[in-house]
Amino acid sequence: MRITRVDLLGSSCDHGRMLKIHKTSYWTLVLLVTSCAQPRHPNLNSTLWALTSAEYEAATRTVYESAARTLAEAKADLTWTAALEQRQDLNDPKVQETLKPAVILDIDETVLNNAPYFARIIRDEKRVATGTWDAWVAEHRAKALAGVIDYVREAKRQGIAVVYLTNRACRKRPGSDASCPQRSDTIVNLQTAGLPALGPDDLVLLRNQQPGWDRDKGKRRAYVCENYRILQIFGDNLGDFAPAPGNRDTAPTPAQRRAMIAQYQDKWGSKWFMLPNPMYGPWLNVLGDDPEAYLK
Ligand SMILES: [Mg+2]
């Protein structure tokens, strides 16, 4: 009977070893069964948090509601910009006239919640990879994070353009002639998730959509700044706001990444708004192959 229970716990348990131990020590077996019942995937807790917790909803709602309160002030101040790439002289009335107000939002874990994708990866013992991710994008099933729909509605009510700037990548998909099926899929998903329909001034900009639009979002922010004045920026990764350690081929430390928070302390909470993402990101990638070393 006990061995049957072990079987139900899944493949991470070493059945052969358990059978051997079972013959010699009942209590060792119980201990091993208990250890087998511990979370078996490194992303289990973070995915469950993003999938089920009230705290996640409260956190994202807090971000978007507080941002919405300062939107009108940011729009009214014609010298206000949230983008480091905004190079024009915003004190020049002629420049002010030419720039439309806009906000920039990253998409994944900023507007759309992909926790169901990561749940699938854990449940089906699959890998986070281009193929499984692209299949998820094509399903258009990601839901909106709490608070973002109301925020985007408010921005549009105030005549502010919405720019979705994502590192979802344009790439050929087997069986499709489209150059960027991921872009149309993303637009459909934004609508099915309940975001307001795109207006003529709204933009959806993917990685590789144009030559040179690489993982570093700076070039795309500069492109947007040519015609828009950026009031607020939202993301779940430092690179959503500025060129960041961890988005390049360097090997930064967590401390180097955290230094960017102090460097731009005047922007957080007024111009830049960070959403929590414990599931993935450069914050995790920079820990390397031995993340336990950081437990010291
Ligand atoms: Mg993101």
Tens digit of each residue's pLDDT (9 = 90 or more) over 26-38: 555 445 555 555 5
Give the structural domain span for 6: 2-36
Residues 159 and 86 both lie in one domain: yes
Residues 90 and 157 both lie in one domain: yes
Least confident piece of the model among 111-125, 133-147, 189-203, 241-255 = 241-255
**Is 155 a member of any domain?**
yes
Write the DSSP string, 102-133: EEEE--BTTTEE-HHHHHHHHHTT----HHHH
Residues 9 and 93 both lie in one domain: no
- 153-179: pLDDT as tens digits: 999 999 999 999 999 999 999 989 999
Q: Which residue has the tokens 């052969």?
A: 16
Distance 148 CA to ligand 1 centre (A): 14
**Is 83 a member of any domain?**
yes
Residues 9 and 153 both lie in one domain: no
Residues 70 and 215 both lie in one domain: yes
Q: Is the pLDDT reported for residue 213 higher than 90?
A: yes
Residues 186 and 108 both lie in one domain: yes
| HSE value, Cβ hemisphere, 13 Å, CA-based, for 157 | 9
Helix/strand/coil for 254: helix
Residues 28 and 151 both lie in one domain: no
Residues 10 and 97 both lie in one domain: no
- pLDDT given for residue 38 in this prediction: 57
Q: Is the pLDDT reported for residue 4 higher than 60?
A: no
**Is 75 a member of any domain?**
yes
Number of domains in the chain: 2
Distance 37 CA to ligand 1 centre (A): 31
Question: Average pLDDT over the chain, rounded to whole?
Answer: 88
Distance 6 CA to ligand 1 centre (A): 38
Encode 199-216: b = buried (16+ Cβ within 10 Å), e = exposed. eebbbbbbbbbeeebeeb
Residues 104 and 32 both lie in one domain: no
**Is 283 a member of any domain?**
yes
* Average pLDDT over every residue of 200-213: 97
Q: Is the pLDDT reported for residue 12 higher than 60?
A: no
CATH code of 230's domain: 3.40.50.1000
Neighbours of ion ligand 1 (CB under 5 A): 106, 108-110, 236
Distance 197 CA to ligand 1 centre (A): 21
Tokens at residue 255, please?
A: 């401390």
- pLDDT given for residue 127 in this prediction: 85
Provide the whole-model pTM: 0.86
- Of residues 121, 130, 99, the one with CA closest to residue 46: 121
Contact status, residue 64 vs residue 148, Cβ threshold 8 Å: yes
Burial of residue 250, with CB atoms counted within 10 A of its CB: 0-12 exposed, 13-18 middle, 19 or more buried: exposed
Residue 31 amino acid letter? L
Residue 92 amino acid letter? D
In whole angstroms, what is the distance from residue 222 CA to residue 204 CA? 15
**Is 82 a member of any domain?**
yes
Residues 223 and 282 both lie in one domain: yes
Residues 107 and 12 both lie in one domain: no
Distance 235 CA to ligand 1 centre (A): 6
Distance 13 CA to ligand 1 centre (A): 34
**Is 44 a member of any domain?**
no
* pLDDT band for position 6 (cuts 50, 70, 90): very low
Contact status, residue 99 vs residue 229, Cβ threshold 8 Å: yes
